[in-house]
Amino acid sequence: MLTTYRSLLAHPGALAFALAGLLSRFPTSMLNLSVILLIEGTYGSWEMSGRVAAVGVIAWAAQSVPTARWVDRVGQRKAMWPLTAISVVGAAIVLVTALMRGPEPILWIGVILASLSGPLGSLTRARWSHLLKTDDEIHSAFSLEGALDEILFILGPTLVTILATTVHPAAGILVAVTALLVGMTWLLSQTSTEPPARGAAGTTGLGLKVPAAVAAISVLTIGVGVTFGAVDITTVAFAEDVGYAAIGGLVLGVLSAGSFTGGLLYGARRWRTPLWARVVAVSVLFAIGFAALGQMPSLWAYAAIGFFAGATVAPLLASADTVVQRVVSQEQLTEGMAWVRIGMGAGVALGAWIAGRGIDVSGHTAGMDVMTWAAASVAVLALAVAWWIRRDTLPARPAAIEEEKAPDEYVDGPPLPPGV
């Protein structure tokens, strides 16, 4: 397994951009929870904290495609500097308003601006796809990125919770913004691995001509997002209800540790199972794991089962990204992945809001019910959209290579979208 990832990181510039991208993505795991804890601590309402966080996530989802299209067109450096500046200003507005217990609409303005961060999760994936040549390498690289994301979700929530409960409720936001600035500066300074701007090549974006498989996987990630939104707020509320508020983030870290492990194991294997079948299988395992998590009677059992439920997360998200990589061209990759993030973001916003409202009325058990039903919906959605994913990721192959390669090994690079 280590040999697989060592060979990937041996490519010139790969280790540097992977680490820089990891650091720049810390707000992904910290900002939403930081806002929830800051607002709950200053205003005393889980529903309000979930509502404000939901506004931010909806804004993040809405900006995903336009900003990704802009990044593809003008290049990462020209697009990401102004977006990073806007995000930092928004975080500052949230921080000052919450500490002064200002009106909620100003918090909305702040989280909307803070969410205009651009396609943080797609920047390094686009660099991998530009750097690597074979489908096997890209599969492993995307799985590595998924595993690295879980480092964020191991450290981020744990750090946020510890800072909010022992230092200051605002400390998590300050750390997230600092990581964004340092990581983005480092990443954007690495020009040798930056994909060329699409504008220079004269190609066009996807616009509304989204391939069916991309649309299908985006629908699937709505259910995944609802589950995540419910898990975040429910876990923290569960820990608080049983008198261990300071370890809520640690429990979220256990879930992410499971995902980190699952992602590395998934990416190290050369799968012969077709991609569409892997999406369905991992979705069903995800549903089983998180539905079981929603039934746990104690925080310790919740953490233990959470590790195994979490092991399905990175493989599912890596498979979703691979679907996009299969059906859009390199010049449209960042934009294509943004559609997946829209589904995820919309789901997280909905899950956080519904779970937060239920928790205010009935305690953490209401959030666990939301998590259970959302997880079950992932399996249903996967089965519903499998036909479109299968059709677009298994195009007709030349007869000359039909017998030479396994069903999931024939693509050397991302083909053009169907019909192009």
In the chain, % of residues over pLDDT 90: 29
Global pTM reads 0.69
Tell me the pLDDT band of 398, cut-offs 50, 70 and 90: very low
For residue range 69-117, list pLDDT tens digits in order: 888 888 899 999 999 999 999 999 999 999 999 999 999 999 999 989 8
- What is the DSSP code (8-state) at residue 193? T
Write down the residue that tokens 């191991």 correspond to: 154
Which residues, including other chains, have CB under 8 Å from residue 271's CB and lie 6 or more apart? 139, 278, 408
| DSSP codes, 194-243 | SPPPHHHHT----TT---HHHHHHHHHHHHHHHHHHHHHHHHHHHHHHTT
How far out from the chain centre does Cα 63 lie? Answer: 15
- Number of neighbouring beta carbons within 10 Å of residue 89: 13
- Best mean pLDDT range from 44-53, 68-77, 372-381: 372-381
420 domain-assigned: no
Which string of b and e fits 25-64 if b means at least 16 CB within 10 Å? bbbbbbbbbbbbbbbbebbeebbbbbbbbbbbbbbbbbbb
Phi, psi of 203 (to 5 degrees): -85, 170
Tell me the pLDDT band of 184, cut-offs 50, 70 and 90: very high
Higher pLDDT, 416 or 260: 260
407 domain-assigned: no
Write down the residue that tokens 């629908």 correspond to: 219
3-state DSSP helix/strand/coil % of the chain, to nearest 5 = 80, 0, 20
For residue range 336-357, list pLDDT tens digits in order: 777 887 787 778 778 877 888 8
- Number of neighbouring beta carbons within 10 Å of residue 274: 16
Q: What is the pLDDT of residue 396?
A: 41
For residue range 18-49, list pLDDT tens digits in order: 899 888 988 877 887 788 888 888 888 777 88
29 domain-assigned: yes
Question: CA separation (Å) from 268 to 144, 147, 152, 283?
Answer: 9, 11, 20, 19
Q: Structural domain tally of the chain?
A: 1
417 domain-assigned: no
Check if the beta carbon of residue 325 is closer than 8 Å to that of residue 127.
no
Q: What is the pLDDT of residue 5?
A: 76
- Best mean pLDDT range from 125-139, 275-289, 334-348, 393-407: 275-289
Higher pLDDT, 393 or 310: 310
155 domain-assigned: yes
Q: What is the pLDDT of residue 154?
A: 63
Residue 245 has pLDDT above 80, yes or no: no
204 domain-assigned: yes
410 domain-assigned: no
Q: What is the pLDDT of residue 277?
A: 92
Domain that holds residue 57: 12-402
Taking residues 58-75, what's their average pLDDT? 82
Query: Tokens standing for 157?
Result: 């929530």
| C-alpha closest to that of 23 among 91, 111, 89, 84 | 84
Tell me the pLDDT band of 204, cut-offs 50, 70 and 90: low
Higher pLDDT, 112 or 204: 112
| DSSP codes, 38-83 | HHHHHH--HHHHHHHHHHHHHHHHHHHHHHHHHHHHH-HHHHHHHH
Residue 241 has pLDDT above 80, yes or no: yes
376: burial class by Cβ within 10 Å (0-12, 13-18, 19+)? middle
Q: What is the pLDDT of residue 415?
A: 32
Tell me the pLDDT band of 372, cut-offs 50, 70 and 90: very high
| C-alpha closest to that of 147 among 24, 262, 15, 224 | 262
For residue range 275-324, list pLDDT tens digits in order: 899 999 999 999 999 999 999 999 999 999 999 999 998 889 888 888 88
374 domain-assigned: yes
CATH of the domain at 257: 1.20.1250.20
